[in-house]
Amino acid sequence: MLLNIPHNFPALELLAKEQFSISDLILTKKDAKPHLKVAVLNLMPLKIDTEADIMRIMSNSPLYIHLDFIYLESHTSKNTPFEHIKKYYKPFSAIKDDIYDGFIVTGAPVELLRFEDVGYWTELEGVFDWARQNVTSSLYICWGAQAALHHFYGIPKYELDNKLFGIYPHTVTDTSFPLFRGFDDVFHVPHSRHTTILKKDILKHPELTIYSETDDAGIYLLTDTSRNEFYITGHSEYSPMALHNEYMRDMKKGLTNVKLPYNYYPDNDSSKAPLVQWRSHSSLLFNNWLHYFCYCSLKE
C-alpha cells in the first residue's frame, strides 16, 4: 500500500519492525493521484501506537491513500510531545474546508466523564457536524462511537461495574451487507471499555441499524446507512499486545474493576503470548469500508 503521509512518520519505524510493506512515498506525477483521502482524529493517549494501528490495518489495501492525522486545538495531549503533533498532524481548523472520502475518530480515555465535561467537547461537536457535510463515510470507534451517537441522537452511555476487557466472539445479522463481505459466521473483536450503550436506546432511532452484537459484549457495530456512518464499540484495529499493555498498566494503577482480559491469554496465563484471533476479520472490516463505502461510492 502507498500512503501519502509526512516523510519519516515515526509509526513507520514500528511497522518496519513487523515487516509491514508500507511506503511513505509521495508521488509527483500528474496521473499518480491518491485514490482516497482519509482523515483520522486520533484521541488515543499513545499517539504513535494508534497511528501504527491505523496504518497496519489498512496495509493490505491496494488503494493509494492520502492520510491526514488531525488534532483538536482545544486539547493538549499529556502523553505525546506537542512537537510530534505539530510536525505530523494538522489542526482541525486547517482542514475544515476540505473534502475527505473517509474519516475515522478513535477512542479516548475519557469515557467515565460526562460528554459535556470533556474539555474539548464543543470543538468535537463541530467536527462531528463538519463530517456530515464534508466526508463520504465516517467510522467512529469505541468512545468516539459513543460520543458521536450522543451528539447526533442523544443516546446515553452507561458505566459498567467491571471493565469490559478481552476478545469476544460476534455474529453478523446480515451477511450480505458489504461491510461484512468475506466474514465467517463467527468473528472475534477486542473490547476495552468501562462504559456501554444499550440496545433499547438504539431501537428508538429507526435510522440506525444494528449489524452485529453479542450477549457478552453487547452491540458491536451499528450504522446510519443513509449518511454512510459506522459506529464500532470495540477495537478491531488493536495490535496483538495492546490489551496486554493495557492490563499491565491497569494493574500498576491498582484498579480493582479490571479483570484478566477474557479469551486473550492461553490458559489465562498472562506470562504467555496472547492468542491472536481477530486480525484477519479486522483487515476485512477496514478494507471493505474503504472499498465499498469510501471508494466505490465515488464511482456511482
Phi-psi region of 18 (alpha: psi -120 to 50; beta: other; left: phi over 0): alpha
* Active-site amino acid positions: 142, 235, 237
Residue 292 clears pLDDT 80, i.e. is over it:
yes
Domain range for residue 241? 3-299
CATH number of the domain enclosing 163: 3.40.50.880
The average pLDDT across 246-273 equals 95
pLDDT tens digits, one per residue of 67-121: 999 999 998 888 788 888 989 999 999 999 999 999 999 999 999 999 999 999 9
SS3 for 292? helix
Q: How far is CA 95 from the centre of its chain?
A: 20
pLDDT, tens only, 4-39: 666 677 776 666 666 555 554 444 444 456 689 999
Q: Are 35 and 289 in contact (CB under 8 A)?
A: no
What single-letter DSSP state applies at residue 189?
E
Instruction: Please write the tens of the pLDDT for every residue from 204-213.
Output: 999 999 999 9
Q: Count of domains in the chain?
A: 1
Q: What is the mean pLDDT of residues 267-289?
A: 95
Instruction: Report pTM.
Output: 0.91
The span from the CA of 124 to the CA of 117, in Å, is 12
pLDDT for the residue numbered 180: 95
pLDDT of res. 59: 74
CA distance 249 to 31: 48
- List all residues 6 or more positions away from 22 whose beta carbon is below 8 Å from its beta carbon: 1, 3, 12, 15, 55, 59
Percent of the chain clearing pLDDT 70 (strictly above) = 88
Residue-wise pLDDT tens digits, 42-76? 999 989 899 989 988 887 788 888 899 999 999 88
Q: Exposed, middle or buried: residue 117 (CB in 10 Å: 0-12, 13-18, 19+)?
A: exposed
CB 198 within 8 A of CB 177: no
* Helix 121-134, helix 143-153: angle, nearest 10: 80
Q: Would you put residue 245 in left (φ > 0), alpha (ψ -120 to 50) or beta?
A: alpha
Q: What is the mean pLDDT of residues 278-298?
A: 90
